[in-house]
Amino acid sequence: MTQTSDPGNPGTPSTPEDTGAGVRTSGAGVRPSGAEVRTSGAGVRTSGAGTRAAAIPDALKRRVPRYSDLAPLMQFKKPEFSRAAKLRRASTIWDLRDLAKRRTPQAPFDYTDGAAEAEITLRRARQAFLDIEFRPGILRDVSRIDLGTEILGKPSRLPVGIAPTGFTRMMQSEGEYAGSQAAAAAGIPYTLSTMGTASIEDVAAAAPEGRNWFQLYLWTDRDRSLELIERAARAGNDTLLVTVDTAVAGARLRDVRNGMTIPPALTLKTVLDASYRPAWWFNFLTHEPLAFASLSRYAGTVADLINSMFDPTLTFADLDWLRETWKGNLVVKGIQTVEDARRVVDHGADGVVLSNHGGRQLDRAPIPFHLLPGVSAALKADHSDAAVILDTGIMSGADIIAALALGADFTLIGRAYLYGLMAGGRAGVDRAVEILETDMLRTMALLGVSRISELTPDHVRVLPR
């Protein structure tokens, strides 16, 4: 049998008759080089030699668009510039941070956003959550996700609460009232700081249905500490968080460079800054003057206040005194080693908060997320039921789920909710909690778990660096 070559591909032999392609050669077995190419009315291309090519689908033929085709695509919306619309468009905590930065003067924003010295600790804390790999399970029924948990003897609708933050009304005039009310609406705990700008009693009145905790700095003046403890108990706070990582103030260089004072001073720089944020200054100047509601009025820098008020002589004996004095849940905040976690539990603590103060005290401090597995394992080995709570670095619901998987019983957010507060007051805090809840629901479903209790260390792998 004589073989011929395809002119378009000389290296490919062909037979005199290729029935599979429907191509017939001439008597000489060679396709004429000058074969005419024709197109039928149906859009099928054929050659003069009878070769049949692929038809052009109707969907790929060009035509003039009809209005009925364009109408569904033309959904022009009226531009929305309201605060509520901007909050709705925020999809992440980082989006809220961007809004907060635009709305808040530099000094208050930097007080929230910044950390100590070179801010290495804060960057590492956030990086720790990025350096993980989730390990999902498949073919699980995740049609219903339950984010509820129990912390320190009471239920919480979400595995996250609001951490204590000082000077909160400086960030936005609604301050602690917005935080406590948003927490109550979300069914999660709210923690008021000793250095808050709303009193214990006022916060309790603003969120009567909420679960309120109180954070305590032990002063050199024990009588004043005792007074605060008694006020917290009378106001219905069921948990006392004592912070132990502020023997002296950290070097918060952004505050130093901004000349940060409480209340903010009206200098030429702040006046110029205010011209870009008139709403913040209007709210600040037309509401009750900023003051430490649990303290007497104080004028000076934050560092001076901390250094003059806090007690660098604190020991475990003081923790024993607190345990005898406070009858509710006692939690020690600022734990940064496994040994100290064990020791405070031995001295009567009902829980520990693994925290380096948001990176605002000792730069290059241990990262709570890295510390978490060791502390959890150690307390379980001691047959302790003390709660393990984690803060620092949390910026998404996925961060929270990762912490729970590696052994945390609960988490706290500080900056994440303050970004929402600065972005939009109470509505901004609500949005921050909503973003975190949405993140958690999605992460749980994609991991293949429907309840917090199903999370295990097998769901997370810490990637080597």
Active site residues: 357
d(CA 334, CA 246): 9
Q: How far apart are CA 401 and CA 399, in angstroms?
A: 6
> What are the tokens at 245?
């990582």
Angstrom distance (rounded) from CA 180 to CA 174: 10
User: Helices marked H in 382-463 — which ranges?
Assistant: 397-405, 415-447
Distance, CA of 33 to CA of 47 (rounded, Å):
11
- Is the omega angle on the peptide bond into residue 263 within 30 degrees of 0, that is, cis? yes
**Could you give the 3-state DSSP secondary structure of residue 447?**
helix
Write the CA distances from 435 to 95, 196, 420, 430, integer angstroms.
Answer: 10, 25, 10, 9
Is residue 209 within 8 Å of residue 188, measured between CB atoms?
no
Give the separation between CA 313 and CA 220, rounded to whole angstroms: 8
DSSP 459: G
